[in-house]
Amino acid sequence: MANKYRWFFLMVLFSVLLDQFSKYLVVDFLSEMKSVSIFRYFSLTLVKNTGICFGILNNLNVRIFIITASFIIGIAIIISIIRYGKDKQMIIASGLVEGGIIGNLIDRIRIGAVIDFINFHFWPVFNLADAFIVTGVVIIFFHHFKGGKYAPRVFEDR
């Protein structure tokens, strides 16, 4: 039982530290330049996102909504760990999601906005926490619907 929590907390710690360190570097490096082109369709662009996902509801005071939603999602993740505790993929995916939520929540509490910097020009600017959340959700989705241990069961007529 302790092993499942260890994997979960290691993934949370890894996600939060990598996210916060990357944001620290970007803010320090791009504070004056704002954007650096890496190649044709990719650049590092410093954006302080005061909205929700991908800048939706930008410049509105959504702090309470974000904090509340983060706690609700966090509780759901913890419940899933308890339920799916023996499935390492689900634990790691849940840790990625939770770590991403915490990484963005730290920004919200600390500066009132989320630091975004990964800019593929065809997609809204995002950060590593967002990537961890999406990666974790995709793993959970495929695990559920592609035959994982806890996938929904289809009953056949006999």
Contact 105, 70 (CB under 8 A): yes
DSSP 79-133: HHHHHTTT-HHHHHHHHHHHHHHHHHHHHHHHHSSEEEEEEETTS--B-HHHHHH
| List 19, 107, 116, 157, catalytic entry | 116
Q: Does residue 130 carry a catalytic annotation?
A: yes
CB-based contacts of 155, cutoff 8 Å, min separation 6 = none
The span from the CA of 79 to the CA of 99, in Å, is 15
- Tokens 């995709």, residue located: 138
Contact 77, 1 (CB under 8 A): no
Supply the residues annotated as catalytic: 116, 130
